[in-house]
Structure 1
Amino acid sequence: MNSSEITVGCQVLLSVSPPYLKTADPMPMLRPADILEIGSQGIVIDRRPGDYWGVRFSKGVFLVESQYLEKLVS
């Protein structure tokens, strides 16, 4: 996905499972990717360096690269 299509506040879904998930904590930690299922919906809360987005999912806030996200059209 083109990162210019994603903006803070938009709803996204996890379209592809990344090899791992990184928490958006002040000291990020790696978590197994199976915490979130493909199709999990979240809200973008901020933009991070390196084409990462902070996304709030029901199971927490994670840093996700835009290639794994798809913007939901409302």
Structure 2
Amino acid sequence: MDKPKLTIGSKVFLRHRPPYLKTADPMPMLRPADILEVGDQGVIIDIRPGGYWGVRFTQGAFLMEDQYIAALK
């Protein structure tokens, strides 16, 4: 079965919690990973260089790699 393609506006959920979170601010800052819980849902707001997705969760916007998020079905 094909993995759903991620695009801007896609709804995603957190599959695994990364060791730390990087905010999606113009000047990114590191935050502790316990801000988010596995299963939290968000929306992709942009694509960043280096294979990062900007994802808006209710707790804020963070830069996430593919390995940590998955599309909602």
TM-score band (shorter)? over 0.9
Give the 4+ runs in structure 1 shifted more than 2 A. none
Instruction: Say which SS state the counterpart of residue 38 (structure 1) adopts.
Output: coil
Please, what TM-score do these two structures have when normalized by structure 1? 0.91
Name the count of aligned residue pairs.
72
2: distance between equivalents of 1:47 and 1:66?
11
Instruction: List alignment gaps of at least 5 residues for structure 1.
Output: none
TM-score w.r.t. length of structure 2: 0.92
Question: Which ranges in structure 2 are unaligned for 5 or more consecutive residues?
Answer: none
AA in 2 matched with 1:13? F
Measured in 2, the distance between the counterparts of 1:63 and 1:71 equals 15
Instruction: Report the Cα distance in structure 2 between the residues aligned to 1:45 and 1:18, rounded to whole angstroms.
Output: 19
Report the identity percentage: 64
**Aligned counterpart, 1:29:** 29
Secondary structure, counterpart of 1:8 in structure 2: coil
AA partner of residue 15 (structure 2): S
Q: Which residue of 1 aligns with 2:16?
A: 16
CA RMSD of aligned residues (A): 1.7
